[in-house]
Structure formats: structure tokens, C-alpha cells
């Protein structure tokens, strides 16, 4: 039986490798045909290079988890004077952005805002053409009805998605003065977005990130909304006003806009993919990724190359992923198997997940964040996952920065949250922290699980990661859904 299983593993590995080569070649042909071929063929270069413009003079804050992000968005909406523009995957009329007593629903908040003479426009995905998964088109239509009925709110459903894909971005623009770009949806569909860095045990915790932006880059976020709204709603909005400088941070707006979806980008835009590949190729000491999915072969290939030929002896890769993604779990496991093979026992790679703990009770925490950090020199946060959907076929919006102080502060805050340590304890060489804190803690908890003992920490090595785990599903999924 063991010999038979080994043979199946080898066949699965060979077929997976072959199909991944076919998928990557397909992506290469597609991007070259569209004039985006240099994205896959380029070198490292400046991570903030590429086709997307970089705006100077901004303020950028990274808001961690719903407890911090959602009330900040609500406060901005309450203070709106001219307009509120929202683009999201889905929006539920009864969703509340705050857990404070008496907090209004999204419908009430937007209706009150519109009642003050503020133009409120909401653009959400219309749902899949067939009710194969949520939100269905019926659900989207019903939530739209609730949002607009007797409220003065305009809500438009966007059905210009590629087959089997969606409009996945999460963007809020208020008065062209402040914008939010991140991963938080205005719905409890598929999970409650409200959570705190303490992650108290509950049925399903939710770890997520949102960026708050002020300064000239806000005009880029506003222009993206304007472009989509003008085509889908048929209302020609005026060009965004460029705000005055608000700080000293460079920020770059990144997008995935699939080709053939909108007239404003007939050949698409793939600057999210471009930025990730440029940044990962430039990595020397540290790659830290928080993501819902990791099954892009293009991303995996760069990481595999770095692990096989590390640019520095202290090069480390830390991945924080959900224990059980909403889909694509086996596909992610397959790519992790490839990364483990590339690491080859050199212990440069840590793949972990988190759960909620109060000493006696534990519960899962869903990692929904989409964060990338390279060498404390480049950071991106937004809506894009590391899969074919987000990098090639869904609409997505991320932002990136090279503000080292912000990046380091964000990393230390997140590591303190996940490791349960004070930031001062983690403020050293990242390789030392990975080797002496991340790995020992995560490994000890994994060993406790294997022995059937109760865990004592929220961090644990990602379970079910083997060297060859369902390698075939990744490329098959990519070939089936990517046209």
C-alpha cells in the first residue's frame, strides 16, 4: 500500500508540474497578447516601479481587524459633506459597522447620510449568473432593494464579471479626501467581519486589514470608482479632485482589471500581479505574507527560487494562512508542498495559522487579510488574494508603499498580535524572531495537537501540509477558470 501511495504521489507530482507549466504558458501568452508580457518576464527592479503611478505626500494607516477598521469607515461616512462612494463584493443592508449599542445598520447609516444632501453611490457585484454559490443574484437584488428603497441611496449591481469570477474589491471614498482600501466586506455572509486583535473565542474569528488613505493617492482610488460607475451606472461623474499633501508617504494604487470587462481598460490592468512579482523578486532577507489563498504558480515559483537559492543566509519566508479556506484548501496545500520541497529542511519557511484562545476554549480564526511585506521595504494591502482569480480575473484594488517606518510598525504590530508578545520583544533581526519565536511556538502547538493535547497558544503550524498534497488541483483549477 505504501509503495502504491508513493507511486500515486509521484504521478500526481509529475502531472501537477506539467499542468502548471501549461497554465503559466497560457498566462504568458494572454499577457503578451494584451501588451502586459513584461509583468511575467521582468526582473526585480524597484518594487514601486511598473506601470502604476506612485503618488508622494500621503498619509497611510493600516487598520487591523474589524474592531479598528469598521468604526473608522463609519466615522468617515458620518462626516461626509459631498459624496460617499462604495465598491464592494457584497453589501448587506442590515450590516452594522460598529458593535456599539444603538449602532445603525448600513442602510440607516447611508440613508441618513443621503438625507443630509450627500450623494451616496454603492457599486456591488451582481452575483454569479447561476446560483452556484453566494451571494446569488437574487440575494444581490434583494439587498440592493433594501438599500435604495425610500433612502436616496443609489446602488448599482455590476454583472460585467468574467465567467466564474467576480468583482472582489473593497473600496470607500469620502469627499475625495479620504479613502479606504482593504479586505473587509460590508456583510456577515460567509463570516462575521467584526473581530479584535485579541480574537476572543467565538464560532469563527476573522482577521483582516484595511488601509486608510489621505493625500493625492485618494484621487487614484476615486478615479477607479468613477471609471467603473460611469460604465455600469451610465452616470458621468466629474474627475476626482486631487487632495493636498497630507503626509510624507509614497503610495501606489494597484489594480486587477480583467481584459474585455470595461471600455476604460479593454486590454485589462494587472498591476497587482506586477507589484507582487517585482517585490518578491527583490527580496533579500524577509518575505511575510498574510493571505486567504496561496495557489498562484507565478507567485510560488518566485518563492521556490528564493528558497532553493537564498539571496542571504538569513533569508526567511513566513506565511499566515487560514486553516481551512472557503475553497481552494487542497490547492493551497499543494503549493505549500512545493515550497517545503524547495526549503529542503533548511528551516527558512514557516507556514502557520491562528486560532482564538482564552486558556481553556479555542475556536478558529479565518485569515482573510491580503498583506505582503518584503524586507520591511515594501508593503501591500488590499483585496487581492494570491490566486488566479485575484491576479488575472477578478476586479481587485490594492495599495503599496515603501514607507519603512510604517511597514516595520505594521509588521511588529501584527507579529505581536499573532505571537502574543510585546512588540519590544520582537524588535530584532526578523530571522532571529522567525527561528526563535515563530517556529518554536508554532511547532510546539502542532505537536500538542498531534498528541491530542489541548493547545496553549493561538499560533500553530498549518495542519495537513505535506510535501505532495493534491498537487493536481491547483493547475486544474487554474485551467478551468482562466480564459
Tens digit of pLDDT for each residue in 255-306? 999 999 999 999 999 999 999 999 999 999 999 999 999 989 999 999 999 9
pLDDT average, residue stretch 208-215: 98
pLDDT average, residue stretch 89-118: 96
pLDDT, position 483: 41
- List the grid coordinates of 464: 495537513
Give bridge partners of residue 256 from the DSSP assignment.
Answer: 270, 396
pLDDT, position 213: 99
**Confidence class for position 481, pLDDT limits 50, 70, 90:** low
- 176 — alpha (psi -120 to 50), left (phi > 0) or beta? left
Q: Does the pLDDT at position 324 exceed 90?
A: no
- List the grid coordinates of 31: 499577457
Q: What is the DSSP string of 62-109?
A: EEEHHHHHHHHHHHHHHT-SSEEEEEES-B-TT-BS--STTPPBHHHH
CB 111 within 8 A of CB 152: yes
CB 350 within 8 A of CB 316: yes
pLDDT above 90 coverage of the chain, percent: 78
pLDDT average, residue stretch 190-210: 93
**Confidence class for position 330, pLDDT limits 50, 70, 90:** very low
Give bridge partners of residue 461 from the DSSP assignment.
Answer: 352
Average pLDDT over the chain reads 91
**Confidence class for position 14, pLDDT limits 50, 70, 90:** confident
Lowest mean pLDDT among 104-118, 122-136, 225-239: 122-136
Q: Does the pLDDT at position 79 exceed 50?
A: yes
pLDDT, position 362: 80
pTM for this entry: 0.95
Q: Does the pLDDT at position 375 exceed 90?
A: yes
Q: Whole-angstrom Cα distance, residue 137 to residue 126?
A: 6
**Confidence class for position 109, pLDDT limits 50, 70, 90:** very high
pLDDT, position 4: 55
- 174 alpha-carbon distance from chain centroid: 22
For residues 17 and 204, the model is more confident at 204
Lowest mean pLDDT among 57-61, 129-133, 170-174, 433-437: 129-133
For residues 252 and 364, the model is more confident at 252
Q: Does the pLDDT at position 462 exceed 50?
A: yes
pLDDT, position 419: 97
CB 283 within 8 A of CB 306: yes
pLDDT, position 337: 83
CB 153 within 8 A of CB 120: yes
Q: Does the pLDDT at position 189 exceed 70?
A: yes
Angle between helices 473-481 and 2-34 (to 10 degrees): 30
pLDDT, position 305: 96
Q: Does the pLDDT at position 413 exceed 90?
A: yes
**Phi, psi for residue 327 in degrees, rounded to 5:** -160, 165
Lowest mean pLDDT among 310-319, 402-411, 458-467: 458-467
pLDDT, position 369: 98
**Confidence class for position 113, pLDDT limits 50, 70, 90:** very high
**Confidence class for position 364, pLDDT limits 50, 70, 90:** confident
Q: Does the pLDDT at position 478 exceed 80?
A: no
pLDDT, position 163: 83
pLDDT average, residue stretch 230-240: 95
Domains and CATH numbers, the chain: 2-52+253-481 (3.30.870.10), 54-249 (3.30.870.10)
Going by the DSSP 8-state scheme, the letter that residue 186 receives in this structure is: B
pLDDT, position 397: 98
Lowest mean pLDDT among 53-67, 133-147, 388-402, 463-477: 463-477
Q: Does the pLDDT at position 84 exceed 70?
A: yes
**Confidence class for position 328, pLDDT limits 50, 70, 90:** very low
pLDDT, one tens digit per residue, over 127-181 is 998 887 889 999 999 999 999 999 999 999 999 999 889 999 999 999 999 999 9
Amino acid at each position: 500500500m505504501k509503495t502504491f501511495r508513493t507511486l500515486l504521489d509521484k504521478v500526481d507530482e509529475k502531472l501537477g508540474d506539467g499542468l502548471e507549466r501549461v497554465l503559466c504558458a497560457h498566462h504568458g501568452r494572454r499577457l503578451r497578447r494584451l501588451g502586459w508580457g513584461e509583468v511575467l518576464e521582468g526582473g526585480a527592479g524597484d518594487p514601486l516601479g511598473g506601470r502604476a503611478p506612485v503618488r508622494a505626500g500621503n498619509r497611510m494607516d493600516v487598520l487591523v481587524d474589524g474592531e479598528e477598521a469598521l468604526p473608522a469607515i463609519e466615522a468617515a461616512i458620518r462626516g461626509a459633506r459631498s459624496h460617499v462612494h462604495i465598491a464592494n463584493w457584497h453589501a448587506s443592508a442590515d450590516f452594522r459597522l460598529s458593535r456599539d449599542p444603538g449602532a445603525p445598520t448600513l442602510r440607516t447609516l447611508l440613508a441618513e447620510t443621503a438625507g443630509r444632501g450627500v450623494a451616496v453611490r454603492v457599486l456591488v457585484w451582481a452575483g454569479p449568473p447561476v446560483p452556484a454559490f453566494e451571494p446569488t443574484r437574487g440575494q444581490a437584488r434583494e439587498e440592493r432593494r433594501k438599500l435604495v428603497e425610500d433612502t436616496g441611496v443609489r446602488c448599482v449591481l455590476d454583472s460585467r464579471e468574467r465567467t466564474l469570477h467576480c468583482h472582489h474589491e473593497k473600496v470607500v471614498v469620502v469627499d475625495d479626501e479620504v479613502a479606504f482600501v482593504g479586505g473587509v466586506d460590508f456583510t456577515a455572509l460567509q463570516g462575521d467581519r467584526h473581530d479584535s486583535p485579541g480574537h476572543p473565542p467565538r464560532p469563527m474569528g476573522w482577521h483582516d486589514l484595511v488601509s486608510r488613505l489621505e493625500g493625492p493617492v485618494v484621487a487614484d482610488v476615486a478615479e477607479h470608482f468613477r471609471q467603473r460607475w460611469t460604465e455600469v451606472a451610465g452616470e458621468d461623474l466629474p474627475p476626482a479632485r486631487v487632495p493636498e499633501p497630507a503626509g510624507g508617504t509614497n503610495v501606489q494604487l494597484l489594480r486587477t482589471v480583467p481584459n474585455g470587462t470595461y471600455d476604460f481598460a479593454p486590454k485589462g490592468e494587472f498591476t497587482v500581479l506586477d507589484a507582487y512579482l517585482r517585490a518578491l523578486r527583490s527580496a533579500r532577507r524577509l518575505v511575510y505574507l498574510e493571505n486567504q489563498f496561496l495557489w498562484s504558480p507565478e507567485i510560488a515559483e518566485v518563492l521556490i527560487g528564493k528558497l532553493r537559492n537564498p539571496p542571504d543566509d538569513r533569508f526567511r519566508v513566513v506565511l499566515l494562512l487560514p486553516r481551512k479556506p472557503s475553497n481552494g484548501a487542497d490547492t493551497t496545500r499543494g503549493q505549500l508542498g512545493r515550497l517545503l520541497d524547495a526549503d529542503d529542511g533548511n528551516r527558512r519557511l514557516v507556514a502557520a495559522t491562528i486560532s482564538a484562545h482564552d486558556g481553556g476554549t479555542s475556536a478558529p480564526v479565518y485569515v482573510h487579510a491580503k498583506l505582503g511585506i518584503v524586507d520591511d521595504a515594501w508593503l501591500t494591502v488590499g483585496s487581492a488574494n494570491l490566486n488566479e482569480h485575484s491576479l488575472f480575473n477578478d476586479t481587485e484594488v490594492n495599495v503599496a508603499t515603501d514607507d519603512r517606518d510604517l511597514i516595520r510598525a505594521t509588521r511588529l504590530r501584527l507579529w505581536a498580535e499573532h505571537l502574543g508578545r510585546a512588540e519590544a520583544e520582537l524588535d530584532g533581526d526578523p530571522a532571529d524572531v522567525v527561528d526563535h519565536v515563530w517556529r518554536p511556538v508554532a511547532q510546539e502547538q502542532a505537536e500538542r495537537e498531534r498528541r491530542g493535547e489541548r493547545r496553549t497558544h493561538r499560533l500553530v503550524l498549518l495542519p495537513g501540509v505535506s510535501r505532495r498534497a493534491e498537487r493536481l488541483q491547483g493547475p486544474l483549477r487554474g485551467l478551468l477558470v482562466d480564459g
